[in-house]
Amino acid sequence: SASYETILTETDGAVTIITLNRPKALNALSSVVLEELIKAFAAYQADDSQLCAIITGSGDKAFAAGADIKEMSDKAAADFYLDDFFSRWTSEIVKTTRKPWIAAVNGFALGGGCELAMMADFIIASDNAKFGQPEIKLGVAPGMGGSQRLTRAVGKSKAMEMCLTGRMMGAEEAERSNLVAKVVPHDELMTEAKKTAALIASMPPMAAIANKEMVNSAYEMTLEQGIVQERRLFQILAASEDKKEGMAAFVEKREGKWTGR
Ligand code: CO8
């Protein structure tokens, strides 16, 4: 696997694992991290042998404690505006990664860290995970999609309260509030994330992409548009080799063998 300065990448069968690796800075998201994540996700997307990815943080303390405050502290408003500082964070990874990816949150997911986790298709959290958008305490606000994705995930009341107070939300509350799909004991986080990723990777790959696209459409489209999009994608899948194989395998009571086409 490629060598990076701030992240680690490895593969386990058809599962790519990307680990934020600045544990001493609680995996703070610097611009070097961004460039490396963009490359790592593009490599995952381009590799036909890889069918699900996991992003996690190194160390026991943090997934990522936010954008790198030390890097941002000297920046002027004009720098943020003219460089459109967060725009690649908010769009590039999400848009290039059509295949599924999971965030395995192993501790603090604050500010940009919470926002990065919410960019994933879903979140599996360790029972010590803590989510928050504490930017208000720095005199700013979420800048990588948090005000939008948190609100869509947990609803206005809780999102507003989180953003206005900057408080952290623990794993149990995050599960109850639909921010995360599942909470597991800390020691079992990666085992569970890999098991889930391997299960997704065992599915017909084109159907996985289409299922992801459909669910995301519920965020972006009206109900009527989303239902039309769902039907069209279903119709495309119905013409696939893997649909033929999947239905034949069911009828013949055997496992399907996917071509991905
Ligand atoms: N950026 C850079 N370094 C960080 C960050 C960060 N976001 N978070 C932690 N670190 C560093 C600390 O500076 C410290 O480094 P050092 O050892 O060199 O002093 C090291 O990580 C360990 O952290 P702590 O000693 O603080 O660990 P604690 O266990 O005492 O506290 C906390 C853990 C509560 C997570 C604490 O570190 C914290 O509050 N971190 C910042 C959380 C935060 O505010 N995140 C939001 C950042 S802003 C953002 O993501 C969106 C953009 C907003 C624009 C802001 C413009 C100024």
- Is the shortest distance between the CB of 205 and ligand 1 below 6 Å? no
- Ligand 1 atom 10 nearest Cα: 25
Could you tell me if residue 221 is inside a domain? yes
Which of 59, 181, 163 has the alpha carbon at shortest distance from 118? 181
Averaged pLDDT for residues 7-32: 98
Averaged pLDDT for residues 97-117: 98
Judgement on whether residues 140 and 164 belong to the same structural domain of the protein: yes
Mean pLDDT, all residues of the chain: 97
- Is the shortest distance between the CB of 64 and ligand 1 below 6 Å? no
Q: Which atom of ligand 1 is nearest to the CA of 69?
A: 1
Report field, pTM of the whole predicted structure over 0.90: yes
**pLDDT value at position 85?**
87
Q: What whole-number distance in Å separates Cα of residue 115 and Cα of residue 132? A: 9
How far is the centre of ligand 1, averaged over its atoms, from the C-alpha of 65 (Å)? 6
Range of the domain at 227: 205-251
Could you tell me if residue 258 is inside a domain? no
Poorest-pLDDT segment among 1-5, 122-126, 218-222, 249-253: 1-5
Judgement on whether residues 104 and 25 belong to the same structural domain of the protein: yes
Could you tell me if residue 21 is inside a domain? yes
The per-residue pLDDT for range 69-86, each reduced to its tens digit, is 999 999 999 999 999 989
Judgement on whether residues 119 and 66 belong to the same structural domain of the protein: yes
- Give the catalytic positions in this structure: 67, 112, 115, 135
**Residue appearing with tokens 């496992």:** 255
Judgement on whether residues 136 and 212 belong to the same structural domain of the protein: no
How far is the centre of ligand 1, averaged over its atoms, from the C-alpha of 25 (Å)? 7
Could you tell me if residue 256 is inside a domain? no
Residue 231 identity: R
Gap between the terminal Cα atoms of the chain: 26
Q: Could you tell me which residues come within 8 angstroms of residue 87 by beta carbon, excluding any fewer than 6 positions away?
A: none
Q: Which of 167, 185, 201 is the last residue of a domain?
A: 201
The per-residue pLDDT for range 37-56, each reduced to its tens digit, is 999 999 999 999 999 999 99
Q: What is the best residue among 26, 88, 140 to mutate for testing ligand 1's pocket, by most ligand atoms within 8 Å of CB?
A: 26
Could you tell me if residue 216 is inside a domain? yes
Could you tell me if residue 2 is inside a domain? no
Judgement on whether residues 120 and 211 belong to the same structural domain of the protein: no
Q: What is the CATH number of the domain that holds 215?
A: 1.10.12
- Ligand 1 atom 42 nearest Cα: 65
Q: What is the CATH number of the domain that holds 139?
A: 3.90.226.10
**pLDDT value at position 230?**
98
Q: Which residues pair with 55 in a beta bridge?
A: 18, 103
Q: Per-residue pLDDT for 95 more than 80?
A: yes
Judgement on whether residues 221 and 130 belong to the same structural domain of the protein: no
- Is the shortest distance between the CB of 136 and ligand 1 below 6 Å? no
Residue 142 identity: P
Could you tell me if residue 259 is inside a domain? no
Could you tell me if residue 209 is inside a domain? yes
- Is the shortest distance between the CB of 140 and ligand 1 below 6 Å? yes
The per-residue pLDDT for range 224-253, each reduced to its tens digit, is 999 999 999 999 999 999 999 999 999 999
- Ligand 1 atom 4 nearest Cα: 25
Averaged pLDDT for residues 1-17: 94
Q: Which atom of ligand 1 is nearest to the CA of 26?
A: 21
The per-residue pLDDT for range 150-197, each reduced to its tens digit, is 999 999 999 999 999 999 999 999 999 999 999 999 999 999 999 999
Q: Which atom of ligand 1 is nearest to the CA of 68?
A: 1
Q: Per-residue pLDDT for 255 more than 70?
A: yes
- Ligand 1 atom 19 nearest Cα: 25
Averaged pLDDT for residues 196-223: 97
- Ligand 1 atom 36 nearest Cα: 65
Judgement on whether residues 170 and 187 belong to the same structural domain of the protein: yes
Q: Assign 2 a pLDDT band (cuts: 50, 70, 90).
A: confident
- Ligand 1 atom 41 nearest Cα: 65
Judgement on whether residues 44 and 85 belong to the same structural domain of the protein: yes
Judgement on whether residues 177 and 211 belong to the same structural domain of the protein: no
Q: What whole-number distance in Å separates Cα of residue 68 and Cα of residue 27? A: 9
Judgement on whether residues 84 and 130 belong to the same structural domain of the protein: yes
Judgement on whether residues 190 and 235 belong to the same structural domain of the protein: no
- Is the shortest distance between the CB of 28 and ligand 1 below 6 Å? yes
Q: Per-residue pLDDT for 1 more than 80?
A: no
Judgement on whether residues 144 and 49 belong to the same structural domain of the protein: yes
**Structural domains counted in the chain:** 2
